[in-house]
Structure 1
Amino acid sequence: MADSASTERKQFLIGLTIALLGAILFSTKAIVAKLIYRYGVDAVTLIAFRMMFSLPFFIAIGVWQARTAVPLTRSEKGQIVILGLLGYYLSSFLDFLGLQYISVGLERLILFLTPSFVLLISIFVMKRKITLLEWAALGISYLGTVLVFVHDARIGGSNVALGSLLVLGSAISYAIYLLGSGELVKRVGALRLVAYAMCVSSVACIVQFFVLRPASMLLQPMAVYGLSMINGFFCTVMPVFLTMIAVDRIGAATASQAGMIGPVSILFLAALILDEPITAIQLAGTALVLCGIYLLSKKRV
């Protein structure tokens, strides 16, 4: 029994580590987006390039998985299409659109609401019981993130309300995706589900571009292509697979809570890439978020 508990504990911590790494990589998309926006690229074009560069990887993995996997039912196919449109089409599009109007810090703060949406949906829709430890971890990390980004929230522009609402919609959409994928991944498999859902999302984003923008918009400076490749692989392909593997190992609610490291990681990445200063308040908030994640790691499995 002791060996079994030790093995389960080890697997849980491995899953949590995978979730943390996925959250950090996924958070960098906001910084990459800000760099791309400097070249006059809009959200529709940005997300189209992102998916164009990531789509070949998802197609390859999808084909590989399909060769040995059990055929999907009609219901599972429908669920995958819905999840693909919710999770990485609608959510990503609203996020990148909102980033045109608000700072990276405020965007991260709003997206940090995702775990609470996951928990609330779990409570009221799926009738799941939330432990006191989970609430404590979430509360402490919320406090840390508020400290980190409070100054960003106070900085307003003419379109800050619009940008905030767009990113809020992104957070809600992604929360629904996480919960839906958590139920489906057990039957379909993590790699297969991500590959199929991302193919759906990629096609939707690319079709949207050609419907709303002229083909001439595909001609961009080389820097845009380079940043889009980074956005496509390191900020999309890797984190979505890491997140889905984590959901498979530790569940949607815990994986989403582990994503609390994302807003904090942005501090150091922004300082390194965008030369933004790190203050004592930001460091204090970082400590609180890490404390919350530590509490989460002590959750009994």
Structure 2
Amino acid sequence: MFKSNNTYLAVFIGILGVVFFSAKAVMVKLAYHYDVSSVNLLMFRMLFALPCYVVVLYFIQSRKRVKSPVNFRDVLWLLFFGFIGYYLASYFDFLGLQYIKASIERVILFIYPTIVVLLSAIFLKRKINPLQILAIVITYIGVFVAFWDEFKIEGTEFLIGAGLIFLSALTYASYLTGSDFLIPKFGVLRFTSYAMIIACICVLAHYFIVEETSLFGYHENVYWLGLAMAILSTVIPSFMVSYCIKEIGASNFSILGSLGPVSTIILANIFLGERFSTLQMGGTLIVIFGVVIISFQKNVKTVKN
């Protein structure tokens, strides 16, 4: 199935990347124990991650040329996708985590490949084959099963959180759908670095326009968690996943990506004491099965971060 000589190393790095990405939700929930606002927490993540992407961009710019000509319209699209893909998607995610468990959050986010398929069919006129339709139906049945126990307990509050996380998945899927034509022009690392810098600027603007609380005066653990989110759950895994996809292919990586929800469930149980029922685990496995089918069909290129 895998053809690269570095297969085992790539698989190991890919698994680590998935686990690091999935730890983000757990860190957010831990930080909320210290009464930090979602905007400020997102600020810490972006501000700590920003220098890393600036450095990466600097070295890329000094060593590699843009793969194909970039015009003004491409720059506008880059600004737009940076806004929705790494600002809006992250903002909805952080808001939603105030209402629902970290483990449930990852299950919802994990449906984004099915949304990519649907958006591609609507806006790019790409046909959906019967197997993809079946995979989408399977995925959403799994979501319904996983949600049932939690909805009975939490009710309206759970629906608010689930809705916000779904908006996060939707905006990120929109970013993936629309950025397809830009990535070949900029290159993966350059495009990601630009998008993250744009998102950081958007978060800064949001903070100065809307937020009234200061970034200072929080418990020291808030800053450590913000730093950990930036480095361990943003910068490092983004490059790990890029390397893994390059070595083994996006379809094969989709198998590793399916470990994300399971990893979050385990981490949330260890660090947050979250309990996951048999019904929720069953629903999660159904979702993973549906998404793996979609990923093989669609060849989705990246994972939600």
Q: Same fold (TM over 0.5)?
A: yes
- Contact 2:107/2:287 (<8 A) preserved: no
Q: Report the counterpart of residue 100 of structure 1 in structure 2.
A: 98
Aligned with residue 73 of structure 1, among 59, 64, 71? 71
Change (3 A) 1:155 1:236: farther
Say yes or no: does 1:183 pair with 2:181: yes
d(CA) in 2 for partners of 1:263 and 1:156? 21
CA RMSD of aligned residues (A): 3.7
- Contact 1:102/1:160 (<8 A) preserved: yes
Q: Report the counterpart of residue 54 of structure 1 in structure 2.
A: 49
* Identity across matched positions, percent: 33
Q: Report the counterpart of residue 303 of structure 2 in structure 1.
A: none
Could you tell me how far 1:233 is from its partner in structure 2? 1.3
Say yes or no: does 1:209 pair with 2:207: yes
- Segments of structure 2 that go 5 or more residues without pairing to the other structure are 300-305
Could you tell me how far 1:60 is from its partner in structure 2? 0.5
- Equivalences for residues 139-158 of structure 1 within 5 A: 139-156=137-154
TM-score by length of structure 2 reads 0.79
- Contact 2:102/2:265 (<8 A) preserved: no
- Contact 1:101/1:163 (<8 A) preserved: yes
1:92 is aligned with what amino acid?
S
The DSSP-based 3-state class of the residue aligned with 2:215 is helix
What does the per-residue CA deviation read over 1:198-235, in whole Å, with 9 as the maximum and x for residues that have no partner? 01111211232233335733232111111111111121
- Contact 1:43/1:93 (<8 A) preserved: yes
Could you tell me how far 1:260 is from its partner in structure 2? 4.5
Change (3 A) 1:15 1:79: farther
- Contact 1:264/1:289 (<8 A) preserved: no
Aligned with residue 44 of structure 1, among 20, 35, 39? 39
- Segments of structure 1 that go 5 or more residues without pairing to the other structure are none
d(CA) in 1 for partners of 2:7 and 2:82? 27
Say yes or no: does 1:220 pair with 2:215: no
TM-score by length of structure 1 reads 0.80
Q: Report the counterpart of residue 84 of structure 1 in structure 2.
A: 82
1:40 is aligned with what amino acid?
D
Report the number of matched residues. Answer: 295
d(CA) in 2 for partners of 1:179 and 1:18? 26
d(CA) in 1 for partners of 2:265 and 2:220? 27
- Contact 1:109/1:146 (<8 A) preserved: no
The DSSP-based 3-state class of the residue aligned with 1:216 is coil
Structure 1 stretch displaced more, 110-119 or 183-192: 110-119
Could you tell me how far 1:67 is from its partner in structure 2? 1.3
The DSSP-based 3-state class of the residue aligned with 2:154 is coil
